[in-house]
Structure 1
């Protein structure tokens, strides 16, 4: 819904469509998968550990109006802001550690785009649910589980609740116990589940990164057809 470093908005189309009426994202972030296509029409449950990101979602789901979002002021390049909703739009995961930030052209552009997107798409999330806590707080029900944690090791550093705070073996065990289907995202350092390559991405600087996926469904035909 809003800018978030590492979000899946541009690559959501590469992931399997949900096969269950409920989607659960136990690492909510900006919930790009749940917003993709018609996914938002399903019952969506988000879980978010970072209290500031949780508060953004709580405001958007339960209180905000489209007109209120449209009326939020634009950011001016060079000024400073201590609003986390502004700070999170900086193009770096280190933004999660900032108390104030100087508005750059990138931040101002991201905020302007995000403000329009939030106001235009707010109606899609009003039936969603947000839970404050870590991934273990998610209800243990049959669902499409879109699991997108901070990636293991270097790729997952920088977030306030980054890779240094995650026991990936415990996360793997917990994930395999979920009912329904699992769509699990990782980077090249993920070795705690049998991840398979999904796609290769090129950045504006010409660097490449690889996305990996672990997929499991209780419908064998879906699992076999994915790879």
Structure 2
């Protein structure tokens, strides 16, 4: 729905489709999985610990209209902004550290695209629910759980709450206690659940990174695509 560091927009299609009528994202961010394809039609419950990100969802779900979004000012390279919604569009893992940011051509373009996407798709999220709190604030119900925490052993600078503050053993126990199906995302260093490689992503300067997945469903094993 909007730009967010680490969002799953480009790879959402590789994750298993939800088998339940409710999707819960305990680390919501921009909720790319719930927004993907027709997933948005289901009951969607977002949990977001960062109060600023949660406030964006509160605004989109309960207040914003397509017209108010379209009327939001464009950004122009060289000017400065202290609006958090602008800052997270800067395509940088340092976004959460900035109080004010200078608008670059990338930021201006990202904001232009997001304004259009939000205005055109706002109706898709009006039935969603947002809860401001950590992952344990999620309702204990049967659902498709899309769990995308800050990746273990990675700096986590792109988030308001980094991996350094996460108890991953406790998270693993909590994940396994969920009812329904679990789709848990991790990076190549994730080791608190039996993750398997889902994708190998090519980065800049020839670098690559692995996206890993833990998947448990009462509907049986799925053939997950492995891209190398």
Q: TM-score, normalised by structure 1?
A: 0.96
**Alpha carbon RMSD of aligned pairs, Å?**
1.2
> Which segment drifts farther, 120-129 or 158-167?
158-167
1:164 lines up with 2:164 in the alignment: yes
Query: Quick check: 1:150–1:157 contact (8 Å CA) kept in 2?
Result: no
The corresponding residue for 1:82 is 82
* Preserved contact between residue 89 and residue 111 of structure 1 (Cα < 8 Å): yes
Alignment partner, residue 218 of structure 2: 218
Structure 2 unaligned runs (5+)?
Answer: none
Q: What does residue range 132-211 of structure 1 map to in structure 2 within 5 Å?
A: 132-211=132-211
User: Residue in 2 aligned with 1:65?
Assistant: 65
Q: Secondary structure at the match of 1:197?
A: strand
DSSP-derived class of the 2:57 partner: helix
- CA-CA distance at 1:158 after TM superposition: 4.2
Please, what TM-score do these two structures have when normalized by structure 2?
Answer: 0.96
Q: Is the 8 A contact 1:182 1:216 kept in 2?
A: yes
Shift of 1:154: 1.9
The aligned counterpart of 1:103 is 103
Q: Report the alpha carbon displacement of residue 159 of structure 1 after superposing the two structures with TM.
A: 1.8
Offset at residue 156 of structure 1 (A): 2.8
The number of residue pairs the alignment matches comes to 225
- Give the 3-state SS of the residue equivalent to 2:181 in structure 1: strand
Structure 1, unaligned stretches of length 5 or more?
A: none
C-alpha contact 2:5 2:158 (8 A) present in aligned 1: no
Flag as ranges the 4+ runs of structure 1 deviating above 6 A: none
